[in-house]
Amino acid sequence: MAGMDADHLSSGLGGAVRQWRLTLGLTLDGLAARSGVSRAMLSDVERGAKSPTIRVLCQIAEGLGCSVSDLLSGPPGDRPNDVVSILRAPDRPVLVDPDSGVERRLLSPNPRRAGVEVVLYVVPPGRETGEFPPHRPGTREHVTVMRGELVGRIGEIEIGLSTGDSAAFPADVPHGFRNPAAEPCEFLLVIDGPRSPGQIRP
């Protein structure tokens, strides 16, 4: 699997979570209250003792007022103001959900500055991403199925998509995806919404 070594990614992710938390002046208890993730789990993630599920990582990111891609990019700080940003394949963060085997591959360079995340998900047969927490109001997601079959649940609405199909929807409601087929499903997810590093969600 292309991408960063899993142990390196887990260690870097934990350090990034801790740095974001400290930059915002949050204690573990404070972040637990904002994210809905237990203090014990947050402590384990920060120490690299546990690899969080994609859903838990989404909750942590929302609690920190940033995106999952922000966390995978490292601690908060200034990024080079290059005209062209490049993310090489060997450096691409790949997060594998320890429960479902779902892969989340970051495709967009410098998502913190761009305000747009482009992510490739690979969902094994019969598995699901789990329910993602709502993003901030005004955030929209765009999905395109590259291969296979996908069922999306957006709030109370369920949609079915096949290879080549696309959908766009407001992402400020709980949402998630599952693969109902016997073959892996690959889909591109573009997250387009307000990005304010350091801003804590009310």
pLDDT score recorded for residue 77: 58
Helix H or strand E segment including 18: helix 6-23
| DSSP character at residue 128 | B
CB burial readout 142-161, b (16+ within 10 A) else e = bbbbeebbbbbbbeeeeeeb
CB 123 within 8 A of CB 129: yes
How far apart, in whole angstroms, are the C-alpha atoms of residue 153 and residue 176?
A: 5
Q: What are phi and psi of 32, to 5 degrees?
A: -60, -40
Q: Which domains does the chain have, with CATH numbers?
A: 6-72 (1.10.260.40), 89-192 (2.60.120.10)
pLDDT score recorded for residue 201: 35
Tokens in use for 53? 């599920």
3-state SS of 25-92 is CCCHHHHHHHHCCCHHHHHHHHHCCCCCCHHHHHHHHHHHCCCHHHHHCCCCCCCCCCCCCCCCHHHC
pLDDT score recorded for residue 87: 79
Report, as ranges of residue numbers, the positions in the chain whose pLDDT lies below 70: 1-11, 74-83, 111-114, 194-202
Longest dimension (CA), the chain: 46
pLDDT score recorded for residue 73: 73
How far apart, in whole angstroms, are the C-alpha atoms of residue 20 and residue 8?
A: 18
Kindly compute the dihedral angle of the four CA atoms of residues 119, 77, 61, 139, in this order, to the nearest 10 degrees.
-60
How far apart, in whole angstroms, are the C-alpha atoms of residue 19 and residue 75?
A: 6
pLDDT score recorded for residue 111: 64
Helix H or strand E segment including 20: helix 6-23
pLDDT score recorded for residue 144: 98
Residue 144's beta-bridge partner residues? 166, 188
